[in-house]
Amino acid sequence: MPLDKDSSEQIGLVVKTHSGFFTVQTPTQLITCQLRGSLKQASKKTELCVIGDRVQVELTEDSTTVQRGVITAILPRERVLSRVEPSAYAGKAGEREQVMIANLDQAVFVFSTTTPTPNPRTLDRFLIAAEKAAIPSIIIVANKIDLATEDVLEMFSIYAQIGYTVMYVSARNQTGTDELRHALTDHISIFTGPSGVGKSSLLNVIQPGLGQAVGAVSQKLTKGKHTTVNAELIPLEAGGYVADTPGIRTLSPWDVEPMELDAYYPEFRPYISACSFSDCTHFDEPGCAVRAAVERGEISEMRYDSYQRVREQLEEEYVY
Ligand SMILES: Nc1nc2c(ncn2[C@@H]2O[C@H](COP(=O)(O)OP(=O)(O)OP(=O)(O)O)[C@@H](O)[C@H]2O)c(=O)[nH]1
Ligand SMILES: [Mg+2]
Ligand SMILES: [Zn+2]
């Protein structure tokens, strides 16, 4: 009996990408796929297909070991988390969007209390990208709590005061890891943050037996060597998926205009409409309610300072 062509078409989830190949999870199997040529030509974007994409797959050859297929269509995305592709063009005309993951509903930004020392301005850039993308759930993870000092805890507490969920955990001591596992269950989350903060270590605790490679921080910092090389969506035993990703040094949020930046600092929002000028930059205009809130201690100086720096950078790069 001839094979019905339609029976070889399946819908699946892209769980891994590696130099032109895509691993697709269908309800019944894992398929190693390439993109149909016409799809590649249709778009000049760098990443046409990323982890989290739901795709239509046509099975090709059937061997006993590997099931292969061709991705014939990428279904519309609900949302994406993007950044400016780190390249020679970043900050210039010709810069490109790098989609880190599609269809996520939770972003988990993992930082460590020390080694490497957390940089709040780096964290703010992650948060801006997540606010811009309207990710329904954002979690800040402060890992290596076993090594924490008072001042670094104070820095993380500023984010809790703003209203972000901050989870204090230790992969080494397994502190807070049950809560983190619970928070991941039934979501599609990205685990991202700088290299060496312990993303893979945490996932190994959350799901024993996972065997994600873990590397020493000294190697990463001196040799710029990331232990995790490819982003990968990991199915959780309790339900849902989490993406382990290679550490990133900095994240420039994609497609944020200077004028809209204040909206991505949630604690500014209640004050913005009270500024005397509707297009207030909150730098030095008279009657600025945001600056007044900073002076009264209702907005943290650290966050206001970060806002100013990011805004200055956006103004430099923005073409009016
Ligand atoms: N003290 C302490 N060390 C930790 C903890 N979690 C991870 N580490 C160590 O931090 C180092 C980096 O851990 P990884 O899990 O490889 O970090 P990563 O964020 O996945 O790094 P990349 O894959 O390079 O992005 C390893 O030496 C871990 O043993 C923790 O809770 N406490
Ligand atoms: Mg890793
Ligand atoms: Zn203002």
Interval between CA 294 and ligand 3 midpoint (Å): 11
Tell me: the pLDDT tens digits for 84-106? Answer: 888 767 777 778 888 999 999 99
Residue nearest to atom 26 of ligand 1 (CA): 216
The H or E element spanning position 223 is: helix 217-223
pLDDT in tens, the chain (320 residues): 444 455 678 999 999 998 889 999 999 999 999 999 878 766 555 568 999 999 999 998 766 677 899 999 999 999 999 998 887 677 777 788 889 999 999 999 999 999 999 999 999 999 999 999 999 999 999 999 999 999 999 999 999 999 999 999 999 999 999 999 999 999 999 999 999 999 999 999 999 988 888 888 766 655 556 777 778 999 999 999 999 988 888 888 899 999 999 999 999 999 999 999 999 999 999 999 999 999 999 999 999 999 999 999 999 887 66
**Ligand 1 atom, smallest distance to 110 CA:** 19
The CA 109 to ligand 1 mean position distance, Å, reads: 14
> Are 175 and 262 in a shared domain?
no
Same domain, 165 and 139: yes
Same domain, residue pair 42 and 145: no
Contacts of 180 (CB under 8 A, 6+ apart): 141, 167, 169, 202, 206
162 CA distance to ligand 2 middle (Å): 28
pLDDT in tens, 154-174: 999 999 999 999 999 999 999
292 is in which domain, residue-wise? 258-317
Number of structural domains, the chain? Answer: 3
Task: For residues 58 and 96, state if they share a domain.
Answer: no
